[in-house]
Chains A and B, each alone.
Chain A
Amino acid sequence: MSSAFVSLQNVSLAYGKTVVVPDLRLDIRKGELVALLGPSGCGKTTTMRAIAGLMSLHAGSISIDGVDMSRTPANKRGVGLVFQSYALFPHLNAFENVAFGLRLKKLPRTEIIGRVEHGLSTVGLSHLAQRKPAEMSGGQQQRLSLARSLVMEPKVLLLDEPLSNLDARLRLEMRTELQRVQRDTGITMIFVTHDQSEALALADRIVLMKDGVIEQLGTADDLYNRPETEFAADFFGFENIFEVSGSSIRGPQGSVSISFTAKAGHLAWRPGAVKIGSGPHKATVRGVAFAGEHREYVFDTGLGQIKASAPAGEPAYELGASLSFDLPEDGALSIPAKN
Chain B
Amino acid sequence: MTGTWASRLIIGLTLTFLIGPFFIIIAAGLSAGDFLAFPPDGLSLKWYLKVFEVESFRESFALSMFLAVFGTIAALILGVPAAYAISRYQIPYGETIKTIVAAPIIVPGIIVGLALLRYLVVPLNFTITLALFLAHTALVLPYAVRVVSSSLNNLRSDMEEAAVLLGCSRLGAFFRVVLPNIQSGVLAAFILGFVTSFNQVPVSLFLSGPGVRTLPIDMLSYMEITYDPSVAALSALLALMSVVIVFVAEKFLGFSRYV
Contacts and interface: CB of A to CB of B under 8 A. Distances in A.
Interface residues of B, number: 17
A83 B161 contact: yes
Interface string B137-173: 0000000000000000000101101111111110010
Contacts of A110: none
Nearest to A79: B165
A87 B156 contact: yes
Contact of A83 (B158, B168, B176, B177): B158
Interface stretch (A97-105, A163-171, A263-271): A97-105
A276 B232 CA distance: 93
A88 B181 CA distance: 12
Given A75-B168, A104-B168, A87 B181 contact: no
Nearest to A83: B158
Contact of B169 (A75, A79, A90): A75
B180 interface: yes
Nearest to B159: A87
B167 A105 contact: yes
A152 B166 contact: yes
B158 A85 contact: yes
B181 A75 contact: no
Interface string A76-109: 0001110101011111000000001100110000
A91 B163 contact: no
A91 B176 CA distance: 10
B153 to A, nearest CB: 15
A187 B161 CA distance: 21
A83 B162 contact: yes
A89 B159 contact: yes
Contacts of B159: 87-90
A75 B158 contact: no
Interface of B: 156, 158-159, 161-169, 172, 176-177, 180-181
Given A54-B164, A89-B162, 8 more contacts: A52-B165, A54-B165, A75-B166, A80-B165, A83-B162, A85-B158, A90-B159, A149-B166
